[in-house]
Amino acid sequence: MIPAGERSGATGSGGRRGPEGTGQFSALGLYLADPRVEASVLGLLEAVEGELRATVTSADPFVTEAARHLVEAGGKRFRPLLVALGAQFGDPTREEVVPAALVVELTHLATLYHDDVMDEAAVRRGAPSANSRWTNSVAILVGDYLFARAADIAADLGPEAVRLQARTFSQLVHGQIAETVGPRAGDDRVAHYLHVIAGKTGSLIATSARFGGMFGGASQEHIEALAGYGETIGVAFQLSDDLLDIASESVQSGKTPGTDLREGVPTLPVLYALASDDSDAASVRLRKILATGPLVDDDLHAEALGLLRESPALKRARETVRSYAEDARAQLAPLPQHPARRALESLCDYIADRTS
């Protein structure tokens, strides 16, 4: 999922730092230099925000309350943002653009309800999670309701939108299953992890960017470029969140540093450390601690966190994040020079820099 950023400035194309953007975009490191494009994007996001509440309303007041729970908790609306930016390469005023953004955001929100059940989460976006406020069964059913609302809106957009939303949903489910089951014997654990992220995170972000181009009326070449960018930047953002969980000294990642480590979640730096054959004392000690699983002991947790922060594994993970960010930038090559393209490039700079 897309995490909160740690600073308001963002680097523009070529690594130059641009002026601070609006508060709406600063936490994502997004730099919109053109006031007209910024106004267009903000207008689309405001329309989406208003429509979200109306869209999840049910004849049953309880369903309405539960379905609005995460809508009203807020969020960065990163997926609608990519729809809005993708539409700039065509005509962002087309009436299909806002419904397309609703489809991807509703799909995303539905996955959060299901994720919290699987993770047994108590809090989501600073509020009690739906499963802790009500029950697991209610949270699952509300997630299903949101998927249904997304499908209903997609049907109004046409068969291709329905097909893409269904295929994206399939990728999301496959990614979750792969994460739940874990790698098979003999599988490369890093490759498996990257596959999971591409399914769980990258697929919907790719569809978001694709929908923006599609329903804005962009050319097929530009639509494919946007979709490729979306999947790659989605993976890069999730990997950078992994690094912030280890490298940050504050709550830059939106949670207490070392949370994944404490819970035994094998993120990229941990997987690199476990796969390392470095024979120095620090690397050997780190592998021994990580092999024990969740680090609930405070002393072991602190020791492992310190060793990871100084490890070659963290350096290698940073290089991987930068590689994905640069790959995402390369995906934009077919797009014309446009303020929206420069905004998308600024995300690449931000991700490459935020964990360095």
Per run of 10 residues, the mean pLDDT along the chain (length 356 residues) is 32 35 57 86 92 89 83 82 96 96 94 77 66 80 91 96 95 92 91 95 96 97 98 94 80 64 88 91 93 88 92 94 96 95 92 80
Identify the pLDDT of residue 25: 63
Rounded Cα distance between 293 and 283, Å, is 16
Identify the pLDDT of residue 8: 28
Identify the pLDDT of residue 20: 39
Identify the pLDDT of residue 124: 64
Contact 244/351 with Cβ under 8 angstroms? Answer: no
Rounded Cα distance between 325 and 347, Å, is 8
336: left (phi over 0), alpha (psi -120 to 50) or beta: beta
Residues contacting residue 60 through CB under 8 Å, at least 6 positions apart: none
Q: Which domains does the chain have, with CATH numbers?
A: 29-218 (1.10.600.10), 251-355 (no CATH)
Distance of CA 34 to the CA centre of its chain: 25
> Of 163, 4, 125, 134, which is closest to residue 66 (Cα–Cα)?
134
Rounded Cα distance between 356 and 345, Å, is 18
Identify the pLDDT of residue 126: 61
